[in-house]
């Protein structure tokens, strides 16, 4: 009898100890969950970022700068295609976000209609890289492409060849520059207007990374009067520089690049590229997020933020 009583007490004790252990575990676990929820503060804003679907380093760097600002400011970014054929821009006005960044590369009517609808709803947004025209003012973040053209011509003037015959190369890899070609060339012409006679001829490359090599070859063989070739895309700059080396034609034409990649800087040091015009895409992406936060908080921000244009040449490396 006593043996059964002691056995029952032992079992009861073990069950009580197990229940106590489970209770302590749950108390500790729930407390840690509460602390975790307390520490995980929800984001300040969620912004939709519309970019070209393009593997160009320029657009990747815009995204990189935007993500850095978002991390610093505790903002969540969702990335989407700005190209209407991908059917994402058409849904922009229905997206449950607190603000928008648009990176257009032309005056697309679908994009403009979406922006006008967002304006009517008084939702905050900024435009980067290439501005567009609407009935109401738009906050623009990026470089002034008129200044880009002036910087290009400043390099031409510094090189100082007696006859100035310029080939400017636009690229589908950086379509925003082609969209602003009139503004770029206006800056070039105004800078060169007191430098004597000059000629300006347009060329265009495709998304093919080797297209610039073929273009340089054609220019040398078929347009020998051209003595300056100016690029508006970093990938084209690198491809053309390598093509000049392969053809043993370094110095035959003055190559003016676009971008600040390490390989471009090396080509400048070696004299293959005369100089390069630099727009900082990371700065554009970073400033876009900062300006959109300001716009969301206060209802206004600067009408335009000029992120600047620089020249990289051998003397400044």
pLDDT tens digits for range 132-171 = 877 788 899 999 999 999 999 999 999 988 778 999 999 9
pLDDT band at 13 (very low <50, low <70, confident <90, very high): low
Per cent of the chain over pLDDT 70 is: 87
Domain span holding position 92:
45-143+281-307
Give the per-residue pLDDT at 258.
Answer: 97
Let me know if residue 232 belongs to a domain.
yes
The β-bridge partners of 256 are 230, 275
Question: Do 303 and 178 share a structural domain?
Answer: no
- Average pLDDT score, the chain: 86
The answer to whether 202 and 181 have CB atoms below 8 angstroms apart is yes
Among 5-14, 22-31, 109-118, 221-230, which stretch is predicted with the lowest mean pLDDT?
22-31
Question: Do 82 and 56 share a structural domain?
Answer: yes
Question: Do 261 and 187 share a structural domain?
Answer: yes
| Cα–Cα distance, 73 to 50 (Å, whole number) | 19
Question: Do 230 and 205 share a structural domain?
Answer: yes
Question: Mean pLDDT over residues 203-229, rounded?
Answer: 94
Let me know if residue 54 belongs to a domain.
yes
Question: Do 182 and 103 share a structural domain?
Answer: no
| Cα–Cα distance, 128 to 143 (Å, whole number) | 9
Question: Do 265 and 150 share a structural domain?
Answer: yes
Let me know if residue 11 belongs to a domain.
no
Let me know if residue 29 belongs to a domain.
no
CATH code at position 288: 3.40.50.2300
Which pairs count as long-range contacts for 29-33, CB under 8 Å and 24+ apart, including other chains?
Answer: none
Give the per-residue pLDDT at 161.
Answer: 80
Question: Mean pLDDT over residues 277-303, rounded?
Answer: 90
Question: Do 151 and 123 share a structural domain?
Answer: no
Question: Do 299 and 191 share a structural domain?
Answer: no
Say which residues have a Cβ less than 8 Å from residue 233's Cβ, sequence separation at least 6: 56, 58, 169, 171, 173, 174, 177, 205, 212, 258, 259
The number of domains in the chain is 2
Question: Do 167 and 129 share a structural domain?
Answer: no
Give the per-residue pLDDT at 40.
Answer: 66
Question: Mean pLDDT over residues 258-263, rounded?
Answer: 94
Give the per-residue pLDDT at 24.
Answer: 39
**According to the per-residue pLDDT averaged within each range, which of 51-55, 92-96, 97-101 is highest?**
97-101
Question: Do 247 and 158 share a structural domain?
Answer: yes
Question: Do 159 and 125 share a structural domain?
Answer: no
Let me know if residue 237 belongs to a domain.
yes
Question: Mean pLDDT over residues 73-102, rounded?
Answer: 92
Let me know if residue 207 belongs to a domain.
yes
Question: Do 137 and 58 share a structural domain?
Answer: yes
Alpha helices in 40-174 (DSSP H): 57-73, 109-120, 145-159
More confident residue, 130 or 155: 155
Question: Mean pLDDT over residues 265-276, rounded?
Answer: 97
Let me know if residue 40 belongs to a domain.
no
Give the per-residue pLDDT at 28.
Answer: 36
pLDDT band at 275 (very low <50, low <70, confident <90, very high): very high
Let me know if residue 22 belongs to a domain.
no
Per cent of the chain over pLDDT 90 is: 59
Question: Mean pLDDT over residues 2-11, rounded?
Answer: 48
Residue 155 neighbours by CB distance under 10 Å: 20
State pLDDT tens for residues 35-71: 333 346 788 899 999 998 876 788 899 999 999 999 9
| Cα–Cα distance, 137 to 13 (Å, whole number) | 77
Q: Does the structure show a pLDDT above 70 at 5? A: no
CA atoms within 13 A on the CB side of 92: 32
């Amino acid at each position: 009898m006593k043996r059964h009583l002691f056995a029952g007490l032992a079992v009861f004790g073990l069950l009580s100890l197990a229940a106590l252990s489970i209770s302590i575990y749950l108390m500790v676990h729930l407390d840690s969950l509460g602390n975790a929820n307390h520490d995980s503060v929800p984001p300040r804003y969620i912004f939709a970022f519309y970019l070209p679907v393009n593997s160009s380093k320029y657009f990747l760097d815009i995204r990189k700068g935007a993500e850095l600002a978002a991390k610093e400011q505790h903002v969540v970014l969702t990335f989407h295609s700005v190209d209407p054929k991908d059917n994402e821009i058409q849904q922009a006005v229905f997206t449950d976000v607190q603000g928008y960044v648009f990176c257009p590369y032309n005056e697309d009517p679908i994009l403009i209609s979406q922006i006008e609808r967002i304006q009517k709803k008084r939702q905050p947004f900024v435009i980067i890289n290439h501005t567009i025209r609407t009935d109401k003012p738009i906050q623009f973040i990026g470089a002034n492409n008129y200044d880009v053209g002036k910087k290009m011509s400043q390099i031409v003037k510094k090189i100082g060849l007696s006859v100035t015959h310029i080939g400017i190369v636009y690229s589908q890899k950086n379509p925003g520059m082609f969209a602003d070609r009139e503004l770029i060339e206006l800056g070039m012409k105004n800078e060169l207007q007191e430098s004597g006679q000059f000629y300006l001829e347009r060329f265009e490359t495709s998304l093919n990374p080797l297209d610039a090599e073929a273009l340089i070859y054609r220019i040398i063989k078929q347009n020998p009067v051209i003595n300056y070739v100016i690029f508006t895309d970093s990938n084209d700059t690198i491809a053309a520089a390598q093509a000049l080396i392969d053809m043993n034609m370094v110095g035959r034409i003055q190559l003016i690049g676009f971008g600040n990649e390490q390989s471009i800087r090396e080509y400048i040091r070696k004299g293959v590229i005369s100089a390069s015009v630099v727009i900082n895409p990371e700065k554009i992406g970073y400033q876009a997020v900062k300006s959109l936060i300001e716009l969301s908080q206060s209802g206004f921000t600067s009408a335009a933020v000029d992120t600047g244009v620089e020249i990289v040449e051998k003397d400044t490396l």
